[in-house]
Every structure is written in C-alpha cells, then in structure tokens.
Structure 1
Amino acid sequence: MSSIFLQEISEFGARLRSALLAGVVAAVVPAASALAQSAIPTDVPKGTKLVVADQRQNLQVLFQASGQQKKLASDVTFADFRGGPAILEAFRGGALDLATVGDAPPIQAHAAGVKLPIVAARLSTKPQYQVALRPGLKITRLQELKGKRIAYAEGTAVQTFVLSALKKAGLSKKDVTLVPLRIVDFSDALRSGEVDVATLNEPPFSHYIKNNQAQGAGALPASELQGLPTYLGYLYASDAALKNPAKAAAIRDFITRWIQAVNWAQANRDQWIDAYFVKSQKLSAENGRLITESEGDFSFPLLSSLVGRQQQIIDLIHQAGELPKRLDAKEEFDFRFDQVIDAANR
C-alpha cells in the first residue's frame, strides 16, 4: 500500500473515533447545554494566563520535573491551597481558572449554585486515604470506629471517604462523633487527642506516623480499606474561563500536558520521587517509594464513564442529610473535553 493510502486510512479512523466518541457523549447527555454543544477553541493567543489551584505544590513540581511546564501554551501560575472549601471560595472571588480536587468539591459547588464544570479526571487503582489513629488508640477493624471522634471536612473528598467507610462498617453518622475541622488541622488534632481518628492522604499520613510512632500512633490495616472507593480526582474550571475562547483553549492544552506529566511520573518513578517527595516534601526516598506504591496506578477515564460513580457519591451524601436536594451528576461535567482526554490518552 502507498503511504498516502495508509495516511488516508489513519485519518478516516481518527474521524470515525471522534464521531463515535461524540455519539457516546450525546447519548449520555441528551439535554446538553449550549456550552457543551460548542467546540473547544484550539488557538491560545500569546499572553494568555491561567491561575491553577495546587495542593502541597504537587502540580507545580510535577509540571517542572516532567518538562511540561516549558511546553504549556499559556502562562500558568500555581497557587497553593489546602482543601476544597478554600478553593471554592477562591473560585467565587474570581481568583482561579482551574483546580484539582477530590470527588466531593464539585458536588459542593453544584449544591451552592456555583458553575464549575469538570473538564478532566484522574482515577487510581487504590483508595486516596489511610485511617490514622491518635497515639495510644488500638483498633484494627472499621466496625470499631463506633463511638469514636472522627475528623471531618464537609465539601472535601474526606466527606465521601468517611461516609463510605461508615457504610461499609454498617454504621451511620449517629454511631460516631464527626468533628468538623480544616484538613490542614487533622494531624494536630490527632496528636493532641482532640479526635480519635482522621483520614490522611500522602504525604501527611507518612509525616504523622513518622513523627508520632514513638508515642503510639498507628493506623487501621490497609486490608480494612479494601472495597472502599478508589481515589478519583477531578480537574474543574470556572465557567467564566470556559466561556473565554483564549482561556478555554489554554485549558484544553493544560489537560493534555497534565496527562503527559502524570504518565511521565509513572514511567520515571525515581526521578519523580526525588523531585517531589525528597526535595519538595522533605521525605526520604524510601518513604517516597512507599507513598507512590500506596497511591496505585493512575489513568484518565472519559468523563462520560464517570457519571454513574459521581451519582452514587451524590446519593451517598444526600442520604446522609448533607445535601438539600438530590442533584443530577450529569450537570457537573463538560463532556466536550472527552475528545481531548481521548486524544491525550492515545
């Protein structure tokens, strides 16, 4: 076959995949908004700027270490935050264009009437959190959470994880005391005995265990967390940014670079561990390896494949009495970006 004929076949296949993908998205969202119907711009004018919420400098170091920072088509500034509620407030104030968060913050924004469409997602093969115990507390099963004081942060992924853990244990909110705290205060609350239990992600979990093991700090066995939802993180954007052609194109480019950066980190674990866990987070290389192993492997699923899972999370929070009404998960996604995700994955 001639090279021209092969190229024509390849181009036809690409068009066919794009058409099929558009059909899937249309089937999932039959009543798509005008925004979801419009094409995503591709031209990023010189001088286009994005402000992206970061947490513990993870994105900033990831983009720098992977080399994707230099490839970004826009001028990206990373602003460090702690938790979804603070990020939501920054969005409300018009200070952010993009943010990576857990599965609950988009639901909080949805319930508050703040339009922050999800434009990409990162899924892991393992749960996001470990269940840390205050010094001196010895429990080994989820059922033993009954009667305990548990650190809680409504509107964050902690909310979803804690409610899921209680459900798995056959417990309800009435069986425990949920102590509302900022996520950044969880470790201190454990150390002081203000709470008995707190769900911690990495690297705070490793920091807590390392610094308080001599005092009797511990955690529930990882085996007790089997069956709980694996980590699901979202990238969501301000509605104003998506309606701005230059910023929408920059967001399209950012998603592609983000996926490539994460894939680089997974293919070059030692370099990633040294750049982030050792140099940025001041942990040992050994702890960095343990953390990356605990995080599992990441993938970037199509948004249309996540509607069912997000609806389950919404229903879980609603049944716990923490949503004024049942929400429709489809309204939280901008399905146009499925084509961007599909192309980046390929």
Structure 2
Amino acid sequence: MRRISRGTVAALLAATVLLAAGCAKEQAGTKLELTAALPDQVPSGTVLRLGDPQIQAIVGASGLDKELTDAGVKVEWANISGGPQSIQAFRADKLDCASVADIPSLFAAWTGTSTKIVFQSVTLDPLNHPIYRLGVAPGANVKSLADLRGKKIAYSAGQAQGALVLRVLQKAGLSQKDVQLVELTSNGDSYVTALGSKAVDVAPIGAQNIKLYEAKYPGASSIGTGIRDDASTLYCLTSAVENSQKAAALKAYVGVRTKAILWANEHHAEYAKAYYQESQGLSAADAKAVVEIVGNKGIPATWDAAIARLQATADLLASEQNHEKIDVNKLVDRRFEAVQAAAAGSQVVTGDAA
C-alpha cells in the first residue's frame, strides 16, 4: 500500500481549506453594484438579520411568513429598532437592516457607517395621527409652543425626538439659546420618568404613551406639535445591499413588508394582539387604543416627498448641530421604491399624505 507523505497530506488539507473558503465566499454572495438590477432568485440558505419587531409580529399573525419561506428567505429576527441600537449592531456586524425613523440614516453617515434606506412608509393622516406629542411636566405651565421659552426640554441629538425638538423650536420662532436642552437618550420610559420627576419641563413622548403618562402623574399634560413626524423607514448596511444574495432576499422581504403594513390596516384587532399585547405587554384595551392613536400606514407611490423632507431635516441638523452637509439622495436605494409600490398595487398613496 502506497504511503502518503506528510507534505502531501498538508497540501491536501490546505487545498481543502481553500476550497471551503471559496465556497463560503460564493455562499456569501458576489458584490452587486448599486446601479445593477435587483436579483429575482434568492439562493438557498440566504439569511437576513433583521431588527424589525413590529413587522415580525405582523408577518407571523398574517401568515406572510410562509411567503418569505417560499421565496427562500430565512430571517434571523433581532429585538432591535431605533437609531442607537441599530447603529451599534451595524458596527458589530450583527445586523443587516433595522426599522427606524429618518434620523438614524443621517447619523450613521455622519459617524462613518454606510447605510441605505430600502423602505419608506407614511401615516395616512399624519397630522391627526402624530407619532409624538410634547409631554409637559406637572406644574410646568406649557399650553402652546410659545410657552417653551426658558423651559428645560429633553433632547437626544441622534434620535428622531431630537430632530423633532429642533423643528418645534424652529416653528415657534425660538433658538436653542431660548431654551435649556437637557441631553437625555430616549430609552424606554426615560423621558416619561424625567417628566414625572420634573427633571425636565417638556419631552417628546410617543402618542400611545400619553394617556399612561397623564394617568401616572397628577397634573401631567401634553400639547401637539402641529408638525409632521411620521417618517418610517427600513435601512440596511450598504454591504448587505451590495451582497447579491442578501439583495435578492431584501427584494422579497420589501414586498412582504409592504403587504404586512397593508394587512395591519385591515386587521386592527389581530395587529393589536400580535404586537402591542403579546410583544409589548399592553392590555387588550390599551393595545386597541394604541392602534387607533397611531393610525393606518400607507405605501407612497414615489419617494420624492419623503426624500425632500429628509433633506430639509438634514439641512436643519447640519446647521443646528454643526454637522457636515449631506446629499440625502446618497442614503437611499431607489431600486426598492418600485418593489414596494408594485407590492401595494392600487393601494399606493399619492398626494399630500405621501
């Protein structure tokens, strides 16, 4: 029997390792230019790592998870959303995409993390269904935006709430010098607690939490901003969008995500139970109330209006926070614009709501 030398064994092992590495690289997907058409076929074993808790609940409740499976998309869900968490996960390469408002894409760019927005949705009646109201601490005596002068306002520079504060000041004809901005990251109930303890006079609070806040702290109140604050996106690492396999999976996911939003519009009770009750721990009554407060979401026929609003916000933040000016068109991947519009069909939103 012929013996194989140690050198030959080593060479064979090295070749095997190189072959495995080549297969892994191929499995990871080839680079897809950002100007290339999105692939239609999802290669077997493609995984998307998504921080999209609300859609996760809707997909499960609606049965749309089967559509993802049939398309060959495997999702690893993460209980992550919002700017700070998602940017941290992006930097650690633990996440491909996350659901956020519009501000995180700007701060990702300003802090050196390359991302692309691949999904835009809007509130169908945005001024009557705001995402935030201004919570007012007991005894703070704020009845209108003009009363903000001299007040302590909770402020988080890298979050949607921070941008909203700046836009509110702009609308009220006030500058940062006219108020006291208190740096405070909005995390869970932090803004509510700060208001209740009178650490701040005013803070943006999710509209669904206003009743809970006012019930918990005697004398607490809130006022509306009169500002549209309904920006809602899915943004992804640019490296994920440039991965041919993940790009194909994202194309399928954007279509399913669109259908999930439209399903929730027609199934308030099921949506309330799946997300606000079972995921967020609200009572049945509170879950139902929240769904009515936040209103229905729509899919815009084009992203033109959303991009214009994002540019205006970017310009404001660049001026007020000393950031570099940025062309927000570089932060969006408009190939997905047609994908979600096609999935929505005749239900796309045009006009002022878009």
- TM-score bracket for the superposition, by shorter chain length: 0.7 to 0.9
Offset, 1:97: 0.5
> In structure 2, what is the equivalent of residue 122 of structure 1?
121
> In structure 1, what is the equivalent of residue 202 of structure 2?
197
CA contact (8 A) 2:58 2:264 kept: yes
Q: Which amino acid aligns with 1:187?
A: V
> In structure 2, what is the equivalent of residue 68 of structure 1?
64
CA contact (8 A) 1:109 1:116 kept: yes
Which moved further from structure 2: 303-312 or 154-163?
Answer: 303-312
Q: Which amino acid aligns with 1:252?
A: K
3-state SS in 1 of match to 2:135: strand
> In structure 2, what is the equivalent of residue 105 of structure 1?
104
Q: Which amino acid aligns with 2:40?
A: T
Q: Give the Cα separation in 1 of the matches to 2:157 and 2:56.
A: 26
The structure-2 alpha-carbon separation of the partners of 1:312 and 1:87, relative to structure 1 and needing over 3 Å to count, comes to same
Q: Give the Cα separation in 2 of the matches to 1:332 and 1:82.
A: 18
Deviant stretches of 4+, over 4 Å? none
Q: Give the Cα separation in 2 of the matches to 1:64 and 1:209.
A: 33
Aligned length: 304
Deviations 1:112-134 (A, max 9, x none): 23210111111113232111122
> In structure 2, what is the equivalent of residue 177 of structure 1?
180
CA contact (8 A) 1:103 1:160 kept: no
> In structure 2, what is the equivalent of residue 303 of structure 1?
303
Offset, 1:250: 0.9
Deviations 1:213-264 (A, max 9, x none): xx222211x3xx22x1240111111111112111111111111111111111
TM-score of the two chains, using structure 1 as the length reference: 0.82
Q: Which amino acid aligns with 1:44?
A: V
Offset, 1:292: 2.3
The structure-2 alpha-carbon separation of the partners of 1:121 and 1:41, relative to structure 1 and needing over 3 Å to count, comes to same
Offset, 1:83: 3.2
Asked if residue 207 in structure 1 is aligned to residue 212 in structure 2, the reply is yes
> In structure 2, what is the equivalent of residue 274 of structure 1?
273
Q: Give the Cα separation in 2 of the matches to 1:257 and 1:216.
A: 44
Offset, 1:145: 1.2
- Name the % identity: 34
Q: Give the Cα separation in 2 of the matches to 1:304 and 1:97.
A: 25
Q: Give the Cα separation in 2 of the matches to 1:276 and 1:202.
A: 16
Q: Which amino acid aligns with 1:337?
A: F
> In structure 1, what is the equivalent of residue 51 of structure 2?
53
Mind listing any 5+ residue stretches in structure 1 that lack a counterpart?
A: 1-33
> In structure 1, what is the equivalent of residue 286 of structure 2?
287
Offset, 1:291: 2.3
Which moved further from structure 2: 74-83 or 251-260?
Answer: 74-83
Q: Which amino acid aligns with 1:317?
A: L
> In structure 1, what is the equivalent of residue 39 of structure 2?
41
Question: What CA RMSD, in Å, does the superposition of the two structures yield over aligned residues?
Answer: 1.9
Offset, 1:82: 5.7
Offset, 1:87: 1.1
> In structure 1, what is the equivalent of residue 241 of structure 2?
242
Q: Give the Cα separation in 2 of the matches to 1:81 and 1:209.
A: 28
> In structure 1, what is the equivalent of residue 343 of structure 2?
344
Offset, 1:202: 4.8
> In structure 1, what is the equivalent of residue 24 of structure 2?
none
Q: Give the Cα separation in 2 of the matches to 1:282 and 1:337.
A: 33
Offset, 1:140: 1.3
3-state SS in 2 of match to 1:300: strand
Q: Give the Cα separation in 2 of the matches to 1:149 and 1:234.
A: 30
Deviations 1:102-155 (A, max 9, x none): 111111112223210111111113232111122333321011111111111112
Q: Give the Cα separation in 1 of the matches to 2:37 and 2:235.
A: 18
Q: Give the Cα separation in 2 of the matches to 1:90 and 1:199.
A: 25
CA contact (8 A) 1:120 1:300 kept: no
The structure-2 alpha-carbon separation of the partners of 1:344 and 1:174, relative to structure 1 and needing over 3 Å to count, comes to same
The structure-2 alpha-carbon separation of the partners of 1:100 and 1:108, relative to structure 1 and needing over 3 Å to count, comes to same
3-state SS in 1 of match to 2:34: helix
